[in-house]
Structure 1
Amino acid sequence: MDDYLIFTPDDVDLARSPLRASLSAETYVLGAFNPGFTRLPGGNLLLMVRVAEALKEPVAGDQVHAIRWADGAYVLDAHPLTAVNMSDPRQFDIGGSPYRMLGLTSMSWLLPVELDPEGRRVLAVHYDRAIAPTRSYQVYGIEDPRITKVGDRWYMTTCSVSPERHSTTLYTSGNALDWTLEGIVLDHQNKDMIFFEGKVGGRFLALTRPLGELYFAYPEGSDYVGGPSINLAQSPDALHWKPIDHPGIRARRGSTSAMKVGGGAQPVLTDTGWLVLYHGVETRAKVGVYRTFWALLDRDEPWKILRLEDEAPLLEANPALTAPIAHQLYLPTEVVFTTGIVEAGDHYIVASGEADLACRITHVAKSRFA
């Protein structure tokens, strides 16, 4: 496999950030990672990079500050230090509520980055087409885009974050560069909604991964363990979704991904079924170890798993890739988070987030999935 970082925090020009129009506080790029990935009509590739832009000095006096979008401008909200836990540099826990409440140390927005057809060179960074908050349900940012082409249109799911809700939102495009916000499509926290690259039975199909405060236990002796898992949903129009009754991909007892599993790249159709690259998490330290595994789903009944490879990972974190920018690492992580796949003849080009910091490209021979 051919592995390299293609876009890092140093590649973001914050002078052209959407925040600059109204925010005077000094910021830096906490991460440029977890990109949506697709091929443009002309043959070039597109990374839709999540840029997490953070305050350089979030603490002032006895207060910590968070960035919020408010009616077309960016403002700072102050929280008393005595009421927060700041052990995680990505967020802080706010006390005094019967529910867990979070504040974010960064504001995420989406940056289109155009690559050559093999994904080896950055050709253009489209700051003029950056996607930033525009609705009250996005006031704390837009995260984790996943792009799928179905027919002649592109569909991009994102996570929109606000005190109102933590929802899944949909953008659509006719060229993968100019996007229209269609609104909320899932009203609950679901970090990994990803459209299949093609319809099944005339309907849109998607991987989902709803999250909750608790999970129920499987009986002793079951092959599975309770926790976040990959489900399936279908829709007549990409806007209105019904979950499929059958379970999808679940964490298996004793596997290295037993902590949780979730969608990664958009499922693509092969001669033998739907190829799904997904992430599995092993419990370790604060964040856990994220690896990329793969499964093959039935072409017509995709809840039927034809093959599941959850022991030997397809991708693992590669510290050699981030060594030149190791000083920018903000957590001791072993994380590779795959977010897109594109065909390229006898191989696939796979996009991932590396260490929650940068964008990684991997060329994987199709024979790897034989």
Structure 2
Amino acid sequence: MSTHAVDRLVLTPDDIDLKRSPLAGHLNAETYVLGAFNPGLTRLDNGNLLMMVRVAEALRKPIFDDHVHSIRWDAGRYVLDPWPLELVDTADPRVFKLRGGGWKIIALTSLSWLLPVELSPDGLEVIAMHYSKAVAPASSLQCYGIEDPRISKVEGRFLMTTCSVSPERHSTTLYSSKNGLDWVFEDIVLDHQNKDMLIFEGLIGGEYWAQTRPLGDLYFAYPPGSEWRAGPSINLASSKDTLYWKPYRKPGIRPHSGTVATARMGGGTPPILTPEGWLTLWHGVEPKELVGIYRTYWSILDKDDPGRVVRTEHTPLLEANPDLTRRIEDQVYIRDVVFTTGIADGGDHYIVASGEGDLACRITHIPKSVFAVKADAQALSEQGVG
């Protein structure tokens, strides 16, 4: 059960009108919304909030004629690709894995596009769904879709990072907007498998800063007895123009060896400046079965040197809440996943947006006092995380 006074789903797959989808009319097959989730969040100039929602649109019957099918954008249209069943592993509902070869190759069971959804100032009521302003694949580097938007507002300009998926590369792409609704594609900004890019909501030393999370299948071990665990971590980079990014030589937030709850981690919300430093919410993944358990944690970074963790908390801020999805239980396909992706100031609280179970959009109001120094709490290590 949630301990937060306001914690609810504000958008579910049933709220999406696929007649207005960018894929509508392209495929001779029925589709459905596998998930409407992982929303970027920002406050518009009119005071309303804007969620940029990842809509994962999937085939109702992906397997027919002894093949499993995936959706692909191809030169302005959407097509189906058939894969012989004997060549694939379909254990994960989100992807299927192609057998053989010397490395992991997957294809998706859905194609994702981004839908701007305008909310009331408190984030609890849908005001408008801007289908005409949806962000969809527009080049071959996005042929398998656009995923997991994160929105920052810096110097009056809205910036949105996304993951663009294709056989060419799994890259981070940048969009910009003057009003938070009309988005312009800028370029690829990070190359292969660098995910969860979060641009700080403010400059540091006159430059843009971002959290990044490069992925790989090889990591070098920390020495025996180290407080850190080798694996994916949250790195840092800076830029003069938002297009060209230099990695920071200091490490960012790393998995702690004392727990498996954050054995894998990645960025969640764009860091926002507080009197104490940059507040950042991030996800830790505990290994379990196929997907793992995703929880949300938080850290405060030094305002002048974000490579220094000022304070953090080892207790999860948010966990998956099955009570929230009980009314749409028939649509649940993974469990134990909350993936926090947006934050906005709500006065005495923060409005936090998350994807719940890769299925729906969750809004939680979290009092700012949660992040305050507790007088009776033991001081945490300046670098302790997880």
- TM bucket (normalised to shorter chain) is over 0.9
**2:92, 2:290 within 8 Å by CA — same for their partners in 1?**
no
**2:256, 2:263 within 8 Å by CA — same for their partners in 1?**
no
Counterpart position of 1:168: 172
Counterpart position of 1:336: 338
Measure how far apart 1:187 and its partner are.
Answer: 1.0
What do the CA deviations read for 1:307-366 (whole angstroms, capped 9, x no partner)?
111x211111111001101110112x2011100000011111000000111000000111
What CA distance in whole angstroms lies between the structure 1 residues aligned with 2:88 and 2:299? 41
What do the CA deviations read for 1:158-188 (whole angstroms, capped 9, x no partner)?
0000000000000000000000000100012
Counterpart position of 2:324: 321
| The one of 142, 157, 163 aligned to 2:146 | 142
Q: Which amino acid aligns with 1:123?
A: I
What do the CA deviations read for 1:127-149 (whole angstroms, capped 9, x no partner)?
00011000110000000000000
In the alignment, is residue 299 of structure 1 matched against residue 316 of structure 2? no
Counterpart position of 1:151: 155
In the alignment, is residue 66 of structure 1 matched against residue 70 of structure 2? yes
The within-5 A match list for 1:241-280 is: 241-280=245-284
**1:145, 1:156 within 8 Å by CA — same for their partners in 2?**
yes
Check 1:367–1:256 CA distance in 2 against 1; reply closer, same or farther (3 A cut): farther
| The one of 77, 98, 101 aligned to 2:105 | 101
Counterpart position of 2:357: 355
Question: Identity across aligned pairs (percent)?
Answer: 62
Q: Which amino acid aligns with 1:61?
A: D
Secondary structure of 2:324's partner? helix
**2:208, 2:238 within 8 Å by CA — same for their partners in 1?**
yes
What do the CA deviations read for 1:39-91 (whole angstroms, capped 9, x no partner)?
01100000100000000111112111100000000000111111000111111
**1:192, 1:262 within 8 Å by CA — same for their partners in 2?**
yes
Counterpart position of 1:220: 224
**1:225, 1:258 within 8 Å by CA — same for their partners in 2?**
no
Measure how far apart 1:255 and its partner are.
Answer: 2.2
What CA distance in whole angstroms lies between the structure 2 residues aligned with 1:363 and 1:348? 6
**1:230, 1:262 within 8 Å by CA — same for their partners in 2?**
yes
**1:63, 1:78 within 8 Å by CA — same for their partners in 2?**
yes
In the alignment, is residue 22 of structure 1 matched against residue 26 of structure 2? yes
Measure how far apart 1:30 and its partner are.
Answer: 0.4
What CA distance in whole angstroms lies between the structure 2 residues aligned with 1:203 and 1:288? 36
**2:354, 2:363 within 8 Å by CA — same for their partners in 1?**
yes
**1:275, 1:297 within 8 Å by CA — same for their partners in 2?**
yes
Secondary structure of 2:325's partner? helix
Measure how far apart 1:151 and its partner are.
Answer: 0.8
Counterpart position of 2:384: none
**2:194, 2:215 within 8 Å by CA — same for their partners in 1?**
yes
What do the CA deviations read for 1:281-305 (whole angstroms, capped 9, x no partner)?
1112211111111001000011011
**2:33, 2:55 within 8 Å by CA — same for their partners in 1?**
yes
Q: After TM superposition, which residue ranges in structure 1, 4 or more long, deviate above 6 angstroms?
A: none
**2:267, 2:282 within 8 Å by CA — same for their partners in 1?**
yes
Q: Which amino acid aligns with 1:316?
A: E
Counterpart position of 1:369: 371
In the alignment, is residue 92 of structure 1 matched against residue 71 of structure 2? no
In the alignment, is residue 57 of structure 1 matched against residue 57 of structure 2? no
What do the CA deviations read for 1:231-287 (whole angstroms, capped 9, x no partner)?
000000000000000000000012253321110001000011000101111112211
What CA distance in whole angstroms lies between the structure 1 residues aligned with 2:262 and 2:39? 25
**1:290, 1:335 within 8 Å by CA — same for their partners in 2?**
yes
Gaps of 5+ in 2: 373-386
Q: Which amino acid aligns with 2:232?
A: P
| The one of 264, 277, 292 aligned to 1:288 | 292
Count of residues in Structure 1 that have an aligned counterpart in Structure 2: 368
What CA distance in whole angstroms lies between the structure 1 residues aligned with 2:105 and 2:244? 29
What do the CA deviations read for 1:174-231 (whole angstroms, capped 9, x no partner)?
0000000001000121220010000100000000000012111111100001000000
Counterpart position of 1:121: 125
**1:195, 1:206 within 8 Å by CA — same for their partners in 2?**
yes
Counterpart position of 2:348: 346
Q: Which amino acid aligns with 2:345?
A: E
Q: Which amino acid aligns with 2:123?
A: G
Gaps of 5+ in 1: none
- RMSD, aligned α-carbons: 0.8
